[in-house]
């Protein structure tokens, strides 16, 4: 089992975030977008008056996972701050360093969240990898691209050329369950990079499919069950910035319930790099062509 988090933003009081929240309020009013105006406005007010410390949501995630002895991987975004769909923080800010310390202190992994426009560029990936090394002392082994940006062989080739040993981008944003029915990690034809396919992403459930409460939990579980039954790899992607948020309470609630249900199955839960190491060790020691991943 593979728990993961894409770190798109960390600051509560941040221009793009406040503008996005205000836009969300406008769309609730004018376009009937799902949401709670009072809670959304309270979120903006909090950001302006008493912003949430950047580390808080990470502490919450680690605490939720530690209840079951689980650890996870955090993919940290690198791209220019002002770019369209860029990260809303800088790798040099003190908060992300404190977050990195917190995450690594808990035995979790930091990987790269690949930038929106550089997803097929080996040089872009190399630059991001170096930035992560310089700022946080992380030698990233794994990657997942922002917005699940992915175009198949080209993406894998660029990631591999930049030195990544596994990718976790393979999934759909608008539907649940593994893309192309891929329930196990796999090495794409002609490549050496290992793919860890996605099973359920928070944004798919709550935003793209518009689910809420028990219905969201049930839908997620229906996507997870066949993967469990096939002895496959269950991969969850939950964004850090929807924790401790009254307006998005279902997001955190569903994550907590899913971990409880999964914990009851006594899975082997590991970080991406541990799964990668394990998979390659099994592949090497096995006489079989297709190694079984017991995760």
Residues in the chain: 295
Q: Which residue is nearest to Zn ion (CB)?
A: 146
Backbone angles phi, psi at 6, to 5 degrees: -95, 125
Longest dimension (CA), the chain: 62
Q: Which is nearer to Zn ion, 79 or 195 (CB)?
A: 79
Q: Report the distance separating Cα 201 and Cα 99, nearest Å.
A: 22
Q: Which is nearer to Zn ion, 6 or 167 (CB)?
A: 6
Contact between 146 and Zn ion per CB under 5 A? yes
**98, exposed or middle or buried, with CB in 10 Å at 0-12, 13-18, 19+?**
middle
- Report yes or no: 58 and 100 within 8 Å, Cβ to Cβ: no
Contact between 57 and Zn ion per CB under 5 A? no
Least Å from the CB of residue 108 to Zn ion: 18
Beta strands in the chain (DSSP E): 2-7, 72-77, 109-114, 142-145, 166-167, 194-195, 200-201, 235-237
Least Å from the CB of residue 89 to Zn ion: 12
Least Å from the CB of residue 123 to Zn ion: 21
Window of 25-33, 39-47, 85-93, 140-148 that interacts with Zn ion by CB under 5 A: 140-148
> Among 291, 177, 202, which Cα is nearest to 254's?
202
Q: At what angle do helices 56-66 and 249-263 cross, to 10 degrees?
A: 20
> Among 225, 173, 165, 162, which Cα is nearest to 195's?
165
Q: Residue 267, CB half-sphere, CA atoms under 13 Å: how many?
A: 28
Count of residues binding Zn ion (CB under 5 A)? 3
Contact between 118 and Zn ion per CB under 5 A? no
Q: Which is nearer to Zn ion, 203 or 224 (CB)?
A: 203
Q: Report the distance separating Cα 61 and Cα 148, nearest Å.
A: 22
Find where tokens 């860029």 sit: 86
Window of 8-16, 226-234, 259-267, 276-284 that interacts with Zn ion by CB under 5 A: 8-16
Contact between 79 and Zn ion per CB under 5 A? no
Contact between 6 and Zn ion per CB under 5 A? yes
Q: Of 2, 4, 5, 8, which one interacts with Zn ion (CB under 5 A)?
A: 8
Least Å from the CB of residue 6 to Zn ion: 4
Window of 1-9, 18-26, 218-226, 246-254 that interacts with Zn ion by CB under 5 A: 1-9
Q: Which is nearer to Zn ion, 20 or 66 (CB)?
A: 20
Least Å from the CB of residue 226 to Zn ion: 26
Least Å from the CB of residue 47 to Zn ion: 20
Q: Which is nearer to Zn ion, 6 or 57 (CB)?
A: 6
CA 291 to chain centre: 26
Q: Which is nearer to Zn ion, 8 or 57 (CB)?
A: 8
H or E element in which residue 40 lies: helix 37-49
Window of 5-13, 87-95, 230-238, 244-252 that interacts with Zn ion by CB under 5 A: 5-13
Least Å from the CB of residue 87 to Zn ion: 8
Q: List contacts with Zn ion (CB under 5 A).
A: 6, 8, 146
């Amino acid at each position: 089992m593979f728990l993961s988090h894409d770190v798109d933003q960390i600051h509560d009081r941040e221009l793009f975030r406040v503008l996005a929240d205000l836009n969300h309020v406008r769309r609730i009013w004018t376009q009937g977008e799902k949401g709670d105006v009072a809670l959304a406005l309270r979120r903006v007010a909090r950001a302006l008056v008493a912003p949430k410390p950047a580390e808080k949501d990470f502490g919450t995630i680690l605490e939720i996972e530690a209840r079951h002895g689980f650890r996870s991987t955090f993919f940290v975004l690198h791209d220019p701050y002002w770019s369209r769909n860029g990260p809303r923080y800088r790798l040099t800010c003190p908060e992300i360093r404190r977050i990195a310390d917190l995450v690594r202190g808990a035995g979790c992994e930091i990987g790269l969240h690949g930038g929106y426009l550089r997803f097929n560029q080996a040089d872009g990936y190399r630059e991001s990898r170096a930035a992560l090394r310089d700022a946080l002392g992380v030698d990233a082994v794994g990657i997942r691209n922002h917005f699940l940006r992915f175009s198949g062989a080209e993406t894998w080739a660029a990631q591999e050329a930049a030195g990544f040993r596994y990718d976790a981008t393979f999934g759909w944003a608008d539907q649940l369950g593994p893309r192309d029915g891929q329930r196990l990690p796999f090495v794409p034809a002609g490549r050496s990079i290992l793919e860890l396919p996605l099973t359920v992403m928070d944004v798919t459930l709550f935003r793209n499919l518009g689910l809420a409460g028990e219905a969201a939990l049930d839908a997620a579980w229906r996507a997870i069950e066949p993967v469990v039954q096939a002895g496959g790899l269950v991969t969850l992607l939950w964004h850090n910035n929807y924790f401790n948020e009254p307006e998005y309470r279902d997001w955190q609630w569903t994550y907590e319930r899913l971990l409880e249900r999964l914990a009851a199955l006594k899975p082997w839960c590991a970080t991406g790099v541990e799964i990668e190491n394990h998979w390659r060790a099994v592949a090497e020691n096995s006489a079989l062509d297709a190694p079984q991943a017991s995760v």
